[in-house]
Amino acid sequence: MLRKNEFCKVINNIQYMDRIETIKHLLTENPNDIFLNYALAMEYMSLSDWNSSAVQLEWIRSNHPDYLPLYYQLAHVYEELSNSNMAILVYEEGIELAIKLADKKTELELKSALEELTF
């Protein structure tokens, strides 16, 4: 018999899987949708499925490099995958884009995360 916390964990995983399957279905109809690809990456992150999340975020980075929200998340994924060099590279790319887009808040968030990683 499952304990309450084990049951909740199973139910949460089912809910995540339902959302993942729904997003995947929507992506079959519109595979180039940035938001759907990003949402799928976030669902994978919620499950600590770092490799799958990286795949989705790298797709966005390759196809829509001006989508600023991906840089913080992708760098975080690389940190979780113990790939500091890639995390640093992604943070730096995000900082450059934030400067280009005059998004000071995101620029400062990315700089702070980079500093925390490198010091």
Q: What CATH number has the domain bearing residue 19? A: 1.25.40.10
Structure token digits, residue 72: 């913080």
Full domain range(s) for residue 40: 4-118
pTM of the model: 0.84
Q: What is d(CA 54, CA 48) in angstroms, rounded to the nearest whole number? A: 11
Average pLDDT, integer, range 45-65: 97
Asked if pLDDT for residue 89 goes beyond 90, the answer is yes
Question: For the chain, how many structural domains are there in total?
Answer: 1
